[in-house]
Amino acid sequence: MLIDDNEFDLFINQKVIESLNFVEEILQFGSATDALNYLKLMEDTGAYHGKFPPQVILLDVNMPLIDGFAFLDEFDKLKIAKQNCVSIFMLSSSTSPVDIKKANNNKYISGFISKPLTASDLIVQLYKKKR
């Protein structure tokens, strides 16, 4: 699952992920609100169809209305948060030490990746998560 308000970043990130050829489906959301609504709907309807919950979420930090950290606060209220089955990576152009520290201290964040996303950065983060 990709969550980013920048369409260009969504496009590039999808192409990077597709180049690795290890995902079945990539869901894109241009806002944290849309992503949260999708996750809530899937929980409420039980419409999982084997594709829910997402295994990995790449989450932008700086988005209007609901930023990445507010998304995490809302994510915490979902049932899937309690299942600890989703790896969430902050994907951001922010170099703010405050953002990086806040992300690294969040129990749902598996890693912080600086934009632009590269295949090697993603592989390194996914490998670190599995250890």
pLDDT one digit per residue (tens) for the chain, 131 residues: 999 999 999 999 999 999 999 888 899 999 999 999 999 988 888 765 556 688 899 999 999 999 999 999 999 999 888 888 899 999 988 888 998 899 999 999 999 999 999 999 999 998 886 54
> 121 in a domain, yes or no?
no
CATH of residue 83: 3.40.50.2300
Q: Residue 57 — left, alpha, or beta (φ > 0 → left; ψ -120 to 50 → alpha)?
A: beta
> 130 in a domain, yes or no?
no
Query: Structurally, how many domains does the chain consist of?
Result: 1
Domain span holding position 81: 2-42+52-113
> 71 in a domain, yes or no?
yes
> 128 in a domain, yes or no?
no
Q: For the whole model, what pTM was predicted?
A: 0.91
Q: How far apart are CA 50 and CA 48, in angstroms?
A: 5
Alpha helices in 21-131 (DSSP H): 32-45, 68-75, 79-83, 97-104, 119-130
The predicted structure's pLDDT at residue 43: 85
Q: What is the DSSP letter of 49?
A: T
> 126 in a domain, yes or no?
no
> 125 in a domain, yes or no?
no
> 38 in a domain, yes or no?
yes
